[in-house]
Chain A
């Protein structure tokens, strides 16, 4: 299970990374949308992306739109994690291809619940704890 965490805040990336403690995942981090696209290609695509919206160089929405255009890899599940809370922004993100949308700050349990929902409760990530 390959996961890409995209946020310009190292602290937020660390908080998100911590949510996966004990789960069988291969985590990669990126600091903006452009960096994330490069990482996504160099890791041969991934299964799950957790991305911020507001970032320098390329924002999260552009990144998701870019992926949807033609990434050359199977479509990953995408969750936008942001402080933006207006309805039209959520609509924009879902229409761009996000599978879910979370407001910051968030509880780790809430993120895992949402992942169970979009990946399925029986997904191998939850059943196979890292040895």
Chain B
């Protein structure tokens, strides 16, 4: 497999840090080459050198594809039992109690990739919380990668392999329809989720505030100053009584003084000081 030179890698690192705040770190050459070769194939570019050259000259299609390739992360339906268990047994019941008078619930999946996380939340709400049927429930799902990633998320169509990972069969037959070799999520579930491109370094102020905010397995890609900056923005978009859920291995450790760590239903979440 054609590999990447040190000079090209440095240009790529610079691009990722400037546009997305991503700190690629050391020792990722193999992964980088594999992902960039895939982009070369898709865009019919003859080599990684050519690709990096076009990226350097600011060619839009190339920068979108490279950003997408380098930020598309592992995802699956109901990924990690801990947070989804806590959302079902503790967090949503608490938010329902607190928001009962306004009958409104706002949720944000801040790095939704191909959509499995927000759709898992939508199915949980439909399946386990029928009292929310007459509430205004908004699930905003955002990702920095536009193009193929958000297109797939919006389409809500998944392969057999994708639905075989994490999605319980009773939910599969209730909320999906088999289409040839793929599975398409129901219109009702799709309508519960709005997908948007959002760069976590430039979160628009008009996005609003959220009762539940998931930003899982994203901060690991940033250096500490960038993590601090992102957490500061996320915290501003978290309702006073809201819950922020990060990835299992992501700890704040002094990166944000206004958010406090709580153990809820066996999962770790962060809330404004004094929210509990």
Residues of A within 8 A of B (CB): 85-87, 90-91, 93-94, 98-103, 106, 110, 113-114, 116-118, 121-122
Complex Cα distance A100/B168, Å? 6
Taking a contact as CB atoms closer than 8 A, the residue among A86, A110, A118 that contacts B165 in the complex is A110
For B169, the chain A residues whose CB sits under 8 A away are 90, 93-94, 98, 100-102
Q: Which of A91, A117, A121 contacts B168 (CB 8 A)?
A: A117
Which A residues touch B158, using CB under 8 A? none
Partner-binding segment picked from B102-110, B126-134, B172-180: B172-180
Chain B residues whose CB sits within 8 angstroms of the CB of A91 once the complex forms: 173
Contacts of A113 in B (CB 8 A): 81, 166
For the complex of A and B, list the 3 residue pairs with the smallest distance between their C-beta atoms, beginning with the closest.
A101-B169, A87-B178, A121-B81
Q: What are the residues of chain A within 8 A of B177 when measuring CB–CB?
A: 87
Question: Is B160 close to A, CB under 8 A?
Answer: yes
A86→B168 CA distance, assembly (Å): 15
Chain B contacts to A: CB under 8 angstroms: 78, 81-82, 85, 160, 164-166, 168-170, 172-173, 176-178, 266
24 A-B residue pairs with Cβ-Cβ distance under 8 Å, sorted by A, are: A85-B160, A87-B173, A87-B178, A90-B172, A90-B173, A91-B173, A94-B169, A94-B170, A94-B173, A99-B170, A100-B169, A101-B172, A102-B164, A103-B164, A106-B164, A110-B166, A113-B81, A113-B166, A114-B168, A116-B81, A117-B81, A118-B168, A121-B85, A122-B266
Further pairs besides A106-B164, A121-B85: 11, Cβ < 8 Å:
A86-B178, A87-B177, A90-B169, A94-B170, A103-B160, A110-B166, A113-B81, A113-B166, A118-B168, A121-B81, A121-B266
Closest to B84 in A: A117
Partner of B170, one of A100, A102, A116: A100
Decide: B168 and A110 in contact? CB cutoff 8 A: no
A16 to chain B, nearest CB (A): 16
**A90 surroundings in chain B (CB, below 8 A):** 169, 172-173
Q: Are B82 and A121 in contact (CB-based, < 8 A)?
A: yes
Instruction: How many A-B residue pairs have C-beta atoms within 8 angstroms? Tell me.
Output: 42
Q: Look across to chain B and name the residue whose beta carbon is closest to the beta carbon of A100.
A: B169
Q: Within 8 Å CB of A106, what residues of B?
A: 164
| Cβ–Cβ < 8 Å partners of B176 in chain A | 87
Q: How far is the CA of A87 from the CA of B175 in the complex (A)?
A: 11
B residues within 8 A CB of A121?
A: 81-82, 85, 266
In the assembled complex, the Cα of A113 lies from the Cα of B77 at a distance in Å of: 11
By a CB distance below 8 angstroms, the chain A residues around B266 are 121-122
A10 and B169 CA atoms in complex are apart in Å by 25
Cβ of A42 to closest chain B Cβ, rounded Å: 29
How many Å lie between the Cα of A59 and that of B170 in the bound state?
A: 21
CA distance A113 to B164 in the complex (A): 11
A85–B169 Cα distance when bound, in Å, is 11
Which of A99, A100, A106 counts the most chain B CB atoms within 10 A?
A100
**Distance of A116 from chain B, by nearest CB (Å):** 5
Report the Cα distance A86→B81, complex, angstroms: 26
Q: Are B164's CB and A110's CB within 8 A?
A: yes
Chain A residues, CB < 8 A from B164: 102-103, 106, 110
Report the bound CA distance from A117 to B167 in whole Å: 10
A116 vs B169: C-alpha distance when bound (angstroms) = 14
- Name A103's closest neighbour in chain B (CB-CB): B164
**Complex: chain B residue closest to A122, CB-CB:** B266
Residues of B contacting A116 in the complex (Cβ-Cβ under 8 angstroms): 81
A128 CB to nearest B CB, Å:
17
Chain B positions within 8 Å of A87 at CB level: 173, 176-178
B165: A residues at CB distance < 8 A: 110
CB distance from B168 to the nearest CB of A (A): 6
